[in-house]
Amino acid sequence: MAPDLQIITILIVLFTFAATLIIRRRRPLPMRPISAFEVLPDLANESIEASRPLHIGLGGASLGDENTILTLVAAEAAYYAIQPATVSDAPPIVTTSETSTLPLAVDTLRRAYASRGMIDAYRGTSARWYPAGPRALAYSGALTTLAGDDQLSSHVLVGQYGVELALVLASASRRGLTTIASSSTLTGQAVAYAMADHALIGDELYGGAAYLGKLPHLANRNLTIDLMRWFLIVILLFLMAYNLAQQYGS
C-alpha cells in the first residue's frame, strides 16, 4: 500500500473507531420501514403453523476473506429469523456453500435454540453444507431440490449470491414460497430486486439486527453507518465543488 493511501486508511479507521465509541444513544431514533424485516417474523409464524421448515441460505458468504463481516451479519439475521421458528415441529434449516461458514451456521442454530431454552430440540443436521461447485450452480441446484424434498415454507437468502440466485428464486416462485433475498454482489442484488418477494439492497442487511432484535443499543450501528454516509456525502460534494472551482477558476 502506498504511504499516503496507508495514512488515509488509518485516519478513516480511527474516525470510525471514534464515531463508534461516541455514538451511544439509549433511545433509538425511528427507522424507515424495510419490508423484508417486517415480514421476517411472519415467515417464522408461517413455518410453525404449516409445520414446514424455514430455510436460511448463507450462500457463498465465507469467513476469512473480504466477506467476513457480511457473513457475521448474515448469521446475525439468521439468528433472529430462526429464534421464533425453533418451536416449530419442522426445525429451520441453514445452508451454506462455504465450509468456513459451517461452524458459524451450526453455532447460530445452537444459540437460537439455547436462547429459547430448547437446546434439546436442536439437531446438528439442520446446518448443511452444499458444495458450490466451480460456478455456485451446484448450490443453487441443491436449493431448488431442497424446497421440494424438505417441503420448505419460505426462503431467506442472505449472503453472497450471483446470477445463479435466479434459479432458486424462480423455483421458489413456482412453488409459491415467500422469498427474502440479499447479496453482496451487484448481480445478485439485481436478481433479488427483480425476482424476490422482498429484497434487501445495498447495506440494508447490515441494519437487520436493530430491526429484528428490537434492542435499543443495536440501533447505534445503523446510526453510525448513517452518520458516516452523510460525512462521505459532504466530502464528495466538497471535492466536487473544489474540482469545479479548479476547472472554471483557472
Partner 1 sequence: MRIRLGFALYTTVVVVFGVLTLAGLLVGDGSAFGDTGALVAPLNTISNLFIRLVVVVIALTLVIGIFNLLSVHAVRLVRGPGTGARLNSLILLVSFIVALVAYQFSSDYNLILENVQVQIELALAALICFALVYGAFRLLRRGVTWGGLVFLAGMLIILIGALPLSQLEPLQQVTDWLTRVPLSAGARGILLGIALATLVTGVRVIIGQDRTYGNQSSVE
**137-176: which residues touch partner 1 (CB under 8 A)?**
137-138, 140-141, 145, 148-151, 163-164, 166-167, 169-170, 173
Query: Of 10 and 245, which has the nearer Cβ to partner 1?
Result: 10
Q: What nine digits make up the cell of 200?
A: 434487501
Closest CB 42 distance from partner 1, rounded Å: 18
- Mark residue 117 as left, alpha or beta (left: phi above 0; alpha: psi -120 to 50; beta: remaining): left
Residues 25 and 220: beta-carbon distance below 8 Å: yes
172-182 exposure pattern, b = at least 16 Cβ within 10 A, e = fewer: beeeebbbbbb
Closest CB 249 distance from partner 1, rounded Å: 25
Strands of 178-182's sheet in order across: 127-129, 93-96, 54-59, 154-160, 178-182, 198-200
Q: DSSP code of 67?
A: T
Piece of the chain touching partner 1 by CB under 8 A; list 30-38, 40-48, 132-140, 242-250: 132-140
In the list 202, 237, 242, 243, the residue contacting partner 1 (rule: CB under 8 A) is 202
Closest CB 101 distance from partner 1, rounded Å: 8
Closest CB 92 distance from partner 1, rounded Å: 14
Closest CB 70 distance from partner 1, rounded Å: 7
Residue 119 interacts with partner 1 (CB under 8 A): yes or no: no
Site for partner 1 in 22-61 (CB under 8 A): 24
Question: Read out DSSP for 109-162?
Answer: HHHHHHHTT-GGG--GGGEEE----TTSHHHHHHHHHHHHHTT-SEEEEEEE--
Closest CB 250 distance from partner 1, rounded Å: 25
In the list 29, 118, 121, 194, the residue contacting partner 1 (rule: CB under 8 A) is 194
CB atoms within 10 A of CB 162: 18
Piece of the chain touching partner 1 by CB under 8 A; list 32-40, 41-49, 102-110, 237-245: 102-110
Size of the site for partner 1 (CB under 8 A): 84
Site for partner 1 in 219-248 (CB under 8 A): 220-221, 224-225, 228-229, 232
In the list 38, 85, 117, 135, the residue contacting partner 1 (rule: CB under 8 A) is 135
In the list 29, 35, 49, 115, the residue contacting partner 1 (rule: CB under 8 A) is 115
Closest CB 36 distance from partner 1, rounded Å: 15
H/E element, 86: none
CB-based contacts of 247, cutoff 8 Å, min separation 6: none
Residue 20 interacts with partner 1 (CB under 8 A): yes or no: yes
94/10 Cα distance (integer angstroms): 37
